[in-house]
Amino acid sequence: MISIQQLSKVFKTNTTTIQAVDDLNLRIDKGEIFGVIGYSGAGKSTFIRLINRLEEPTAGDVIIDGQEITALSKNQLRLSRQEIGMIFQHFNLLWSRTVRENIALPLEIAGVSKEERISRVDELIRLVGLAGREDAYPSQLSGGQKQRVGIARALANKPKVLLCDEATSALDPETTDSILSLLVDINEKLGLTIILITHEMHVIQKICHRVAVMEGGKIVEQGEVVDVFSHPDKAVTKKFVEQVMGKPDKDITEEAFVQSVESGKVLRLHFVGETANQAIISQVAKKFDVEINIIQGNVKQTQSGAYGSLFVHVTGEETELEQAINYITSTSVEVEVKTDA
């Protein structure tokens, strides 16, 4: 669906040169929700603006559904952008226009007849949950309602791709969840390909199928969300995962804690996918003569499955302990011995 090849963007001033996007290669499949995450300055917002040429690339190609966006003339690009919707962090609504008039604007620009505009706008208002607010002005709307207007406006011309640039960053957590649920609903109902830029890992966790991590203008890690979350490789990715999983307590691996464990083993159990839904602890307690105490843990759901970690203290005879660990490992749960008294 979307192929990005050796994409680069360099900003130059009289005194400095900034490589905002550096030789970026990426493929995004039709109908998926693809997340791009990075801290401020990573290049993610520049990257998303390169896709529809709100920023002109210094080098590289962007190909959407077989059409090379980077090779289009200005007139061709204007038509092509009708198939690429975009929503923004700060909504970018026209404050002198009502909800209905804001949503209708792209249709007016595209030369759609008044009758068709009215029908399409009514359809979109129902889709994004704004029935009854059609004649309100942006100043009369909450942040979540404003973003719903922005989403409806972006969908007006029935795009193939929806670009979301920090679309929930200005919203409170509850409103963020409602907007993310709306995006999932739109993705499922319309089969729309969504590219979502964010610096918040819980946004990626909640709705994305795959994710790319950006740092210094480059993609440093990418893959299925559940895989990247469960096995983060780069330091920057590990920091993002800690946003939703939290850090294990330091004393679990500190010498003082090790010395305080008089018997047994402290294990870190790592769950991915279906294993996160299994009652491993109760199964082990029933099958083997061991006692298990949960120290701490966390399991999260993603679009492609659950993942998480659990720290447990297991005591019993050495033979029983080894059999219990072997049994846990046989269920595809990864086991790491943190302390061994």
Q: What is the pLDDT of residues 167-192, one digit of tens each?
A: 998 899 999 999 999 999 999 999 99
CATH number assigned to the domain comprising residue 13 = 3.40.50.300
Which of 185, 215, 244 lies at the terminal end of a domain, its last residue? Answer: 244
As for how many domains the chain has, the answer is 2
Which of 221, 244, 267 lies at the terminal end of a domain, its last residue? Answer: 244
Q: How many CB atoms lie within 10 A of CB 112?
A: 17
CB 152 within 8 A of CB 124: yes
Q: Can you give the pLDDT of all 341 residues of the chain as single tens digits? A: 899 999 999 999 888 999 999 999 999 999 999 999 999 999 999 999 999 999 999 999 999 999 999 999 988 988 899 999 999 988 999 999 999 999 999 999 999 999 999 999 999 999 999 999 999 999 999 999 999 999 999 999 999 999 999 999 889 999 999 999 999 999 999 999 999 999 998 899 899 999 999 999 999 999 999 888 888 899 999 999 888 777 665 555 555 555 556 678 888 888 776 665 567 788 888 888 988 888 877 777 777 677 777 888 898 888 988 898 888 888 878 888 876 55
* Residue range of the domain that includes 106: 2-244
In terms of domains, do 169 and 289 share one? no
In terms of domains, do 175 and 276 share one? no
In terms of domains, do 128 and 260 share one? no
Q: Is 53 helix (H, G, I), strand (E, B) or coil?
A: coil
In terms of domains, do 68 and 168 share one? yes
In terms of domains, do 239 and 313 share one? no
In terms of domains, do 19 and 166 share one? yes
In terms of domains, do 217 and 76 share one? yes
In terms of domains, do 139 and 202 share one? yes
Q: How many CB atoms lie within 10 A of CB 334?
A: 15
In terms of domains, do 213 and 284 share one? no
In terms of domains, do 213 and 313 share one? no
191-219 confidence digits (pLDDT tens):
999 999 999 988 998 999 999 999 999 99
In terms of domains, do 233 and 258 share one? no
Residue ranges of E strands in the chain: 2-12, 17-28, 33-37, 59-64, 67-68, 84-88, 161-165, 193-198, 210-215, 218-224, 265-272, 290-302, 305-316, 334-340
Q: How many CB atoms lie within 10 A of CB 206?
A: 23
Which of 190, 218, 244 lies at the terminal end of a domain, its last residue? Answer: 244
CATH number assigned to the domain comprising residue 320 = 3.30.70.260
Q: Among 292, 296, 281, 197, which Cα is nearest to 245's?
A: 296
In terms of domains, do 234 and 300 share one? no
Q: How many CB atoms lie within 10 A of CB 140?
A: 12
